[in-house]
Structure 1
Amino acid sequence: MSKDKITLFWHRRDLRTDDNHGLYRALTEKENVLPLFIFDRNILDELEDRADRRVTFIHDALSEIKETYENNGGSIIVKYGTPEDIFPEILSEYNVEAVYTNRDYEPYAKDRDENIGQICKDKNVEFKTFKDHVIFEKDEVVKKDGGWYSVFSPYKRMWFNTLKGNEFDTYWSSKNLDKLYRSDPLDMPSLKDMGFERKDDHIPSSRVDDELLKNYSDKRDIPSVRGTSRLSVHLRFGTVSIRKMAKKGKALSGSWLNELIWRDFYQMILHFNPQIVTTSFRPEYDKINWRNNEEEFEKWCKGETGYPIVDAGMRELNETGFMHNRVRMIVASFLTKHLLVHWTWGEQYFAKKLIDYELASNNGGWQWAAGSGCDAAPYFRVFNPELQTKKFDPDLKYINKWVPEFQELDYQQKRIVEHKFARERALETYKSTLK
């Protein structure tokens, strides 16, 4: 065992060295800080695609972090395994006095941290967690009686009422890297070592375009233009700071800040309702007579429904790991309403494909589309793909990019179901259960 007392900082959804709350606290409260990242087999073993773009993204982000730490005289432990196996090994190898990390609110993460916290406690090692992934967490924005909000609008009002003025302040972790544990460079497993292949994609920049934010409310719903920030993957893995982003939003775009508040809202909903990972927020929606036709679901997955805006979205997702947010709503409505497939099927498909997949927001979006979630669209709201196309892709630029074979008359003949029939069937099916 190393004689020097060290403090571990455990990176998870915070793959950056600047404005990192837990890292800042470790560096300013302790000496000899040794960062750690674990490629968690409890998560990775579930991935079917060994060329998963998210694993490549994480590996690249860690390579940058490693270089930064080494340029400041330290390094980072990077392991492949389960936290339950890795932590006892590290605690026996190093004289660890504390473990610092930032909180994660997903059910698996909370169970994991409870287990690791107990392992640390058994070894008389302090285990400290901090808020970094959101502006307000858990029960910080609640009703006057302490209850949680299930509707976004009053939550948003209280979110602003709760601001004291320091929530967007920077934690200057990058200015305290002299407190790192002095270490020679440590080895990092390659993708190949872990049984993965590299999946190169064009990852949007983490730089915030001020002009884009100023025009966000006007262009955000047009999938053929760069009207959204495309920062979702960076927020998901913490390669950017939510505090910096919220500060930008407050200064430049209320409608973009609104999206960040939705993110806090869904994290809060998941915290209080972990059961929604597998069941509907409104349990009666699970009793609906869902058709769950596997052949139709497969056509939806492949982008072969005969509805060009739906097919364009699914093909964009399959090829790039990304889908424009307006189109996400259209394809989700189509699957749950036109085809009457349970929202969990679509949510799980997105979980496999989206590079920015984030459980709370993805779950919230799917349940919103299905009508089964908190503050959801009413069940009788059924998106008309043709009207959505006319409104948001009138020149067919987005459709022509992803569905190059599109010719209106020919394509209509391929429709998996007629809109009018599907809408009436959905309304009758929902209504018969939700009397």
Structure 2
Amino acid sequence: MKKYVLVVVFSLLSAVCMSTGCNSNPNPIKDKKESVTNNDIVSATNVPERDNGASAVDTLDFPKHFEADYSKLHFNTDIVVEEGADINNLYRFSGKRATYDMQKAYEKLTSNVHFEKTYEGEGIGEEGVPIPNMAYEGTNKEKMFLNGETLTFLTPWSNYILRCVHPDSRDPRYNMDKYALNGELEFMNKENGYEQILLLLNDIGFKPEIDFQTVTYALNYSMLEQEEYNINMDGIEDTSKYKESWSEEDNCYYYFIRQKVNGLPLYYVYGNVIKELDICNSPVQVLYSKNGIQRLDIDKLFEIDDTADQKLVSPLPLEDLTQLMENQYEMLISDATFDVYKMELYMMAQKNLQNTYDFFPVWIISMEQIQTENGQSVKTPMQAIIDAETGTIIS
């Protein structure tokens, strides 16, 4: 029953976007809100009128917390904006997927270990043209897959680690709270490891102008040993795959690295499929031990087209944005309401018909859908992506 409701909700939201035009302004603001409360700051000067009836501002700041009550949407919401980001200096512009040099990547990652090519073929790249696909295996069972866009390098040791960590917050096995966020390990300062990763990305051909941020966990061997778990194809625990012993040699860092654009973290649909914002969907992920990089996964990075026009963006004040959201959610044929508990300001990379990407600021909304089923109130976690300038629902 719950899955059916979600399908209906998303289908109707898509219909709303299509009926209003996903690249056009949504319905004009209707003053239906019951109450709005801003904790801390919202300041504006020289306020002109927008085409959609909302107010554009020359100077804008967002509060750390926002409250508002509507018919469908209820906001008791933490507002998250990257520290140091200039929200009055954001732009819409275009760019493309970044690529790297496969030969340089091979040389940097194989080091002195001999690797044999196990596969060579072609695939279709981001721009719709064929690109080479290569796979290699090292003498110590290391593996590497690369195509100039995505990349995976791993050692057998890293597989033991990944059986002990579950970074997907939707996974019942999630356990990153058992490891030290921003912790330090004796073999190396976490910042030194991060710098070495960025240096590697530059060395294999990603432009040094690409900006990044990281969420880093220190993985201690004793906790790794406690959390180790493996099941076979029948869903039964299989201890034969467990590591024989654990020691300080197994201490390592787990880096979840995300690109930044316009001073904001960059969101995109991970793997062209996964829409959820989560550290497990970070575009660059690295396991780093005292022996260096033990696993490297690169999904997608981007380059900005410096020759293309850039349009200055004026994000909507939260009062206007949330009213526009309410107008769209009111069109749902459902008795569901939504409690919004977090809004995070990101840049988004959205693929266009030219196989390049449009970049613009969005709010990533974390909320709970509340619906009555069989006399019981059922809460379902949901995410929505809202254009920060137009208030249009993207997904």
Query: TM bucket by the smaller chain?
Result: under 0.3
Greater strand share, structure number: 2
Please report the TM-score for the alignment, with normalisation by the length of structure 1: 0.25
TM-score by length of 2: 0.26
| Higher RCO, Cα 8 Å, sep 6+ | 2
